[in-house]
Amino acid sequence: MAHNYAINDDVHHQLQGPQGRADVKQRSIYTIVTCLPIEADGRPRYRIKSKSENIERVVTEEQISRLG
């Protein structure tokens, strides 16, 4: 599986609630900073940076979505 997002793409990140439950109220805009190696289970990973806060996260592709 290849990466579907590129560096500098803006994406939505769905914040995770307690024990991995999605917190539907918290949806933030992030920018892809780096495409990381694909995990052993085939999931692409990314380092993303918040547009509104000084926060960076490492996420898998299913945790982000395109703007729009």
Q: Which helix (H) or strand (E) holds 33?
A: strand 22-36
pLDDT digit string, tens, across residues 6-28: 999 999 997 766 665 655 556 78
Delineate the domains of the chain, giving CATH numbers in brackets.
10-66 (2.30.30)
- Would the pTM of this model clear 0.85, i.e. be above it? no
What is the per-residue pLDDT across 23-67, written as a single tens digit (0 to 9) for each?
555 678 999 999 999 989 899 999 999 999 999 999 999 999 998
User: Are 52 and 29 spatial neighbours (Cβ–Cβ below 8 Å)?
Assistant: yes
Cβ neighbors of 32 (< 8 A, separation 6 or more) are 5, 6, 7, 8, 9, 10, 11, 46, 47, 48
pLDDT at 11: 96
Lookup: tokens for 10: 């803006």
pLDDT of residue 45: 96
